Chain A
Amino acid sequence: MADVAVEQHGVAAAYEPSLFGTYSKKIGMWLFLLSDSLTFGALLYAYSYGRISTPNWPTPFHSESIRNATLMTAFLLTSSLTMVLAVRASVFGKGKAVRGWLLATMACGTAFVILHGHEWSNLIAEGLTLPVFPAVPGHEASKEFANVSRTVPQFPATFFGLTGMHMLHVTLGVIYLGIVALRKKFIPILLGLWLVAWLATPSYSPFHYGAHVLLLAAIAASVIVFLKPKVYDSSDVEVAGLYWHFVDLVWMFIFPLVYLMSTRIL
């Protein structure tokens, strides 16, 4: 690393060399991630706090939930791999490969969100729900989950709170990558996704309203893309990658804490 600092010395003669030896955008993203990991840290602590102070914490997750969550984890880990490959392609200046790997990353991320949404819907239908979620019509809730929601409201609260916040981060991450990969062309795709997510979900589902996050993101993204049109270079891809890996990293704690520590062992 010493050679980097020395070279920089030559380039940046008017300034002192950067203390962290890298460009500002990356430092900015790292600092944001530090702050965000404390946000998630606080959520995880809130979960742990609730769990410790609640006697008889339920362990209701059946094997299909665990199987689903494991598959989601695999998708997320794979998306991290495709993301580093995108960064690697970008430093070699292979534009097409960058776009391909970014799209692969987004596909894995979207698969994660869809699987997770499916999981949420199932659990809500089974009775693991928050007081504001409307009951699913024409579906008998299972006694076990309904009982959990009634006696230990901390369980659904922490589950939906933590995973919801993470899902929001993944969704925003996919949109971020979409902008980096396709720029302006991603806006209509995003609007299409919003319409699909909004219209294809029944009105009792939380995703029916949650889908509007996509609309808000589309508006914000169009403002950014039209005010500051630019070709994203390898540093932009790397910074986007940092965010994406961080989202992956957070899941590595949520998955064992929320799912594996609450498995039903037969």
Chain B
Amino acid sequence: MNKFSQLIIRYHGVFAFFILELIALNFYFSQNSTPEKTAFLSSANRMVGGIYDYQNRWSRYWNLSAVNDSLAQENARLKMQLPSTTFSHLLDSATVGADDSLSEQQYHYLAATVVNNSVHQQKNYLTLNRGSKHGLRKNTAVLANTQEGVVGVIRAVSTHYALVMSIINTDSRISSRIGRNNYLGVLRWDGQDPRYMQLHDIPKHLGLQKGDSVLTSGFSTVFPKDIFLGKIDSFYIEPGSNFYNISVQLVNDLGQADKVYIVDNILRDEQLELEASIHEQ
């Protein structure tokens, strides 16, 4: 025992090094799985989010921001009245109007401002100035200001801020389809150019054209259906592969994301519960 304590005293620097290194690496490698990470994210968010908020306030015109906020809220309210945000109880959904009593609100829109953003890292995140106080929750979609383009998915929520995993994050996956032939694929980012993403799992027998539109599939329960993501910029087939390598030019510039809409699928839990019940049987 005496020898052991002598050893620790003699090499206390090395021990301290290993302990701190283990803590840090554990943080880093558990980032996508454990609840601790979400806890770390939320607290870090609360701390740094305030600083960013303050900094952001100085970098915009005072009045313009107030006017923008009210307009964005107005827009969010109007968007909720669109027929595409409702869940129709009629069998022929084409005949349903927006104020029809036979349809039910499915997507809830909320306007938010980006207070922190990055596009040049491998794992890009944004911070929004809306949090659990405004009813946000994890795994909610964030769309660009215009009707076109997706920004990301909320990964952690604190009282006043939300942390969004950008679509240009090497961990992000978006279920999407090609507009012309409705074929499903997965949109991912290779970590290089923030203007382009890659569409995977499109088999080579399909005919593609440059400029084909890529839309969200609506199968993921996170993003609403038929949000325009971008256009096919180039594609080729690697020898020996059965799938295309497709580069998609995004419609929105993530670096300029400022006003965004948070879209919450109110019926998501119900759908996930039903889909999960098959594993329990």
Q: Do A and B originate from a single complex?
A: no
Which B residues fall within an 8 A CB radius of A? none
Which A residues fall within an 8 A CB radius of B? none
